[in-house]
Amino acid sequence: MKTLFLLLLLSIASAAHSATYYIDYTAADDSASRSTKSTPWKRCPGMVGFAGAYSHTAGDVFVFKGGVTWPAAALPLTLAYSGTAANVDTYTVDATWYSNGAWSYPIFDGGKNGSHIIFMDYGGQSYIKINSLQLLNVNDGVSNASGTAIDLYDGSNIEISYCWLQPSSVEAFSIEAYRVNCSNINFHHNYIRQALRCTCYGAGGYVLNNVQFHDNDWQGPGTMYMGTYHADGLMIGNPFAGGSSVAVTNLQFYNNRFYGNWQTATALLYSNGWTSGTLVYNNVFSFENTTPVQNIFSPGFVDFGNNDASIQVYNNTFANNNMHGFGGGYGLGAASAIAVLSPVSGTTVVIKNNIFSLTQIDINVDAHATLTADYNLHYPDTSASYGELVYFGSNQYKTLAAAQAAGYETHSPAVGDPRFINVGNGTTGSANWQLQASSRAIGAAGQLTLFTADLFGTTRGAAWDIGAYQYTVSLPGAPVITSALTAPGTIGSSFSFAITATNSPTSFSASPLPAGLSVNTSTGVISGTPTVTGTTSVAIGATNANGAGAATLALTVSVIPPSSARTAITTQ
């Protein structure tokens, strides 16, 4: 018995424990016997060229130094290991560990390789978290659009959060069940720029189940080169045309915000077919380009189709205000707000509490479905002879009275302008789709139990408002600059200055800057090494969903006197 007890103690003592590893590309190599802040590895296990001694344990944490760039020569980072439910493998940052005087994202620069930056190769890896990384330049966005920033096959229990994904390529993020069934994907609080879409697929009879995309910020790719691709926001379902089995189940898509220039997009949420159990709520589907372009969002902002089933759409704001009234016919601007075409026969489609502003067809549903539509606010665009509130099968209902006579929109408010705070001026980020105090959407929604707050997290309470935002008397205001308005620098020396402002800015600007300096538009940090002297009047700005704050920074770059001159000055 004593021997057995000793063996048990020995087994416990020798059990592997997870560890934290620090990664800094400015380090000499990966030779340190223990990766710490003071002795980091140059590359992370899984990166190209990693040469360190590493043995994986579930729950290992890899911390990338802020402000450091990993070039294409070190990429992709291949995810070859799995964590467990209790010990998740994590690729992340430490806000106290950075270079250049202030924290900024660690950058993975794909060097326009046309492939991917983070990759999972059909290995069925699971329990992985990726947090607060900036992924850039999968392609050039000028002459080639192929490639994906985060490209995962056959992964489960994956969380991607607070990342800045700007690949200049077709896909910012892709997850696909290709050789096994997969589940539990959580993609949230990410910033997507210069990407045509994210994708969420099940293929070859395998199913991707329980997927959440929420609280993401999606800026349109504008005039970025697309090649044979098209923008879709999020594309879901079966990646192959004409699939024959359910591919994606139980997708929740909520609290996402789309804005900017989405010209030539097919949709902002687009199903390639064979989804089941999709819940869509508290999103803003909008765009801000104002030049008439044919076939933006055709069939619609949200499009379901081939054999999709069980669809619920609640409390979204669909804003086509910047692309309407041009005549031109069906397909100019947003053809529909919601299109459900060729779904599973008899499937339920529930559409409630949404704002439809100046789309040509608000609700466009195939007669094979069973449609429930109520508590929606309609403000249709009638300039191209459309203007249907509800288009069900071959039945067109262009007035609220006609829709109600057919059994739809029984409790909906009168048709009319939702009265947004600001519909924008064509500049990305200029619109504010929250409600004015006089909006007919206030208090006009039906109460739900599936969720209780709006896109901002404001509790909806007893009287729900239609749309993504709940009106509050004290809406968060535009930012006000609070940082100093003077900043000294020295030629040839490292410089860092942080723009700060009230009311949670989502982006920053600074222009013009002296040669050698640049601004991180996500953190507001101006940094670099100035190469010219003089004082520059820099227009600095901070922006959130409610507006922008501006100020002028006097940035003075001086010359350090030579040591002999300093001595002479001191002794005189």
Q: What is the pLDDT of residues 431-485, one digit of tens each?
A: 999 999 999 999 999 999 999 999 999 999 999 999 999 998 655 678 999 999 9
Distances in Å between the Cα of 513 and the Cα atoms of 97, 100, 526, 539 are 26, 17, 9, 9
Residue 331 has pLDDT above 50, yes or no: no
Other beta carbons less than 10 A from residue 368's beta carbon: 15
Other beta carbons less than 10 A from residue 442's beta carbon: 20
Residue 366 has pLDDT above 80, yes or no: yes
Residue 49: is it exposed, middle or buried by C-beta count within 10 angstroms (0-12/13-18/19+)?
exposed
Query: Which of the residue ranges 61-70, 78-87, 328-337 would you say has the lowest mean pLDDT?
Result: 328-337
Q: What's the pLDDT band for 293 if we cut at 50, 70, 90?
A: low
Q: What is the pLDDT of residue 300?
A: 80
Residue 89: is it exposed, middle or buried by C-beta count within 10 angstroms (0-12/13-18/19+)?
buried
Taken in order 160, 111, 194, 520, the sign of the CA dihedral is positive
Q: What is the pLDDT of residue 332?
A: 44
Q: What is the pLDDT of residue 513?
A: 92
Two tokens, residue 147 = 């490639």
Strand stretches in 189-301, DSSP E = 191-192, 195-202, 208-214, 217-219, 233-237, 248-254, 257-259, 269-271, 275-281, 284-286
Query: Which of the residue ranges 187-196, 209-218, 293-302, 385-394 would you say has the lowest mean pLDDT?
Result: 293-302
Q: What's the pLDDT band for 560 if we cut at 50, 70, 90?
A: low
The phi and psi torsions of 9 (rounded to 5 degrees) equal: -60, -40
For the stretch 72-107, pLDDT in tens is 999 999 999 999 999 999 999 999 999 988 889 999
Query: Which of the residue ranges 286-290, 295-299, 481-485, 540-544 would you say has the lowest mean pLDDT?
Result: 295-299
Other beta carbons less than 10 A from residue 11's beta carbon: 9
**What CA–CA distance (Å, rounded) separates 83 from 124?**
11
Question: The tokens 């659009």 sit on which residue?
Answer: 145
The phi and psi torsions of 245 (rounded to 5 degrees) equal: -150, 160
Two tokens, residue 160 = 């991607």
pTM of the predicted structure, to 2 decimals: 0.81
Taken in order 59, 213, 449, 307, the sign of the CA dihedral is negative
Q: What is the pLDDT of residue 140?
A: 87
Percent of the chain with pLDDT over 90: 72
Residue 570 has pLDDT above 70, yes or no: no
